[in-house]
Structure 1
Amino acid sequence: MGGLAAVILTINVAVLLAVIIVLRLRRRTQARKRSDEQLTVAIVLVFGVLVAPTGFGQWILETTGQLAEGITRSGTP
């Protein structure tokens, strides 16, 4: 039961971080400071770590891999 609660908590934190990322990225880029950009990068990295072991994260990994493989194959004669 403890493992299930940890998975649910991880997914909830990931959803919260996704909302924060969307809100931060909607702001005007001209008004951002370097520290603001660094905070956004840190939030995105934590989001990636939380989403990676989920089914959605695995789907993104497989899709990106297939896309990269297709691009590589199309570039070779």
Structure 2
Amino acid sequence: MTCAELVELVTAFLEGALDPDTERRFIEHLAICDGCETYVDQMRRTVAEVGQVEPESLSDETRDRLLEAFRTFPRE
């Protein structure tokens, strides 16, 4: 597995949604790639922190900026 492939699969990995073979390859890559290991750890922490934000606590401006960022995020 390449680093780019891992990045594409990180959400599925964190949600436990990878098939067993892909998950094995993902974990094997983490064992040999410090950069990807750090990336996955950062994603875990981000999900944990963002998951604690109550939508009502966001200002209208912040909510609108986040929605716009998601709408314009590059997709392939």
Same fold, TM exceeding 0.5? Answer: no
Structure with more relative contact order (C-alpha pairs < 8 Å, separation 6 or more): 1
State the TM-score bracket (shorter-chain normalisation): 0.3 to 0.5
Q: Which has the higher helix share?
A: 1
TM-score by length of 2: 0.35
Structure number with greater Rg is 1
